[in-house]
């Protein structure tokens, strides 16, 4: 039993790393042949790549408890922390790509964006909401915070909402993907509402 859980965790870890593996491959090909995989504007491509995966993995994190209930498989919950931490890691890489590729670490540009471009303010706020969740994700913090841990981790909902707002806001046209993500989020929230009403 223990062995299979550990093995499965390795499998989940490797699966969640696949986007990074792909990116590593893309970057290595870019080095010898610029533009071949990431196009004419590779910095922006990397930025969007991490942004997309942040949203997808956050949705996957939120769907863990739903799947646990729907399929009556409480064991799935074991993998939630890892998925959530991957989502956070992709969010950090997303922000680093913004700072490095778009703003080129020019703090004047960053400051102007933060003040004038509301969708960037919204995106950074979402990341800041995720930060305490990543920091308190360990067993130790879970024990120390007790009941407050659960309450604190409800911050993932506003973070998800702000993340989706950030995405919708920067979309110029072509709302298929953002709307799909919003629909999934809405579905997960409805399931929680139904579950909560059943229990009270």
Partner 1 sequence: MLIRKPDSVPGSEITPESTYVSRRRFVRDLSIGGVGLAAAGFAGANIDPPDEPLTPERIITSYNNFYEFGMDKGDPVRHAHKLTTDPWKVRVSGEVAKPGEFDYEDLIKGLTPEERVYRFRCVEAWSMVVPWLGIPLKALLQRLEPTGNAKYVEFTTLVRPSEMPGQRSLFTSIDWPYVEGLRLDEAYHPLSIMVVGLYGKTLPKQNGAPWRLIVPWKYGFKSVKSIVQIRFTERQPRNTWNILAPREYGFYANVNPAVPHPRWSQASERRLPTSLFNQNRIPTRPFNGYGEAVASLYAGMDLRRYY
> Which residues form the interface with partner 1 (CB under 8 A)?
27, 30, 34-35, 38-43, 46, 101-102, 104, 109, 112-113, 116-117, 119, 169-170, 172-176, 179
Minimum Å distance from CB 31 to partner 1? Answer: 8
DSSP secondary structure string for all residues of 98-129: IIIIISTT-HHHHHHHHHH-HHHHHHHHHHHH
Number of DSSP helices (H) and strands (E) in the chain, helices first: 9, 0
Which CB, 22 or 141, lies closer to partner 1?
A: 22
Which CB, 109 or 193, lies closer to partner 1?
A: 109
Minimum Å distance from CB 117 to partner 1? Answer: 6
SS3 content of the chain, % helix, strand, coil (to 5): 85, 0, 15
Other C-beta atoms closer than 10 Å to the C-beta of 33 total 9
Minimum Å distance from CB 160 to partner 1? Answer: 21
Minimum Å distance from CB 184 to partner 1? Answer: 15
Question: In sequence order, what are the residues at sequence separation of 6 or more whose Cβ sits closer than 8 angstroms to the Cβ of residue 44?
Answer: 101, 102
Which CB, 119 or 157, lies closer to partner 1?
A: 119
Which CB, 183 or 194, lies closer to partner 1?
A: 183
Minimum Å distance from CB 60 to partner 1? Answer: 22
Using left for φ > 0, alpha for ψ between -120 and 50, and beta otherwise, residue 2 falls in alpha
Which CB, 3 or 173, lies closer to partner 1?
A: 173
CA distance 9 to 86: 13
């Amino acid at each position: 039993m223990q062995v299979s859980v550990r093995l499965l965790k390795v499998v989940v870890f490797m699966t969640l790393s696949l986007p990074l593996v792909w990116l590593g491959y893309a970057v290595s090909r870019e080095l010898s042949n610029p533009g071949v995989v990431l196009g004419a504007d590779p910095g922006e491509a990397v930025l969007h790549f991490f942004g997309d995966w942040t949203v997808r993995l956050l949705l996957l994190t939120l769907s863990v408890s739903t799947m646990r209930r729907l399929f009556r498989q409480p064991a799935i919950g074991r993998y939630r922390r890892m998925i959530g931490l991957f989502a956070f890691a992709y969010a950090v890489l997303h922000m680093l790509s913004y700072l490095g590729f778009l703003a080129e670490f020019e703090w004047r540009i960053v400051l102007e964006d933060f003040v004038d471009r509301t969708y960037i303010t919204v995106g950074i706020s979402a990341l800041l909401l995720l930060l305490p969740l990543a920091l308190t994700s360990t067993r130790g913090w879970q024990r120390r915070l007790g009941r407050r841990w659960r309450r604190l981790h409800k911050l993932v909902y506003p973070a998800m909402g702000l993340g989706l707002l950030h995405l919708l806001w920067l979309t110029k046209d072509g709302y298929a993907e953002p709307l799909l993500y919003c629909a999934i989020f809405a579905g997960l929230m409805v399931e929680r509402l139904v579950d909560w009403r059943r229990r009270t």
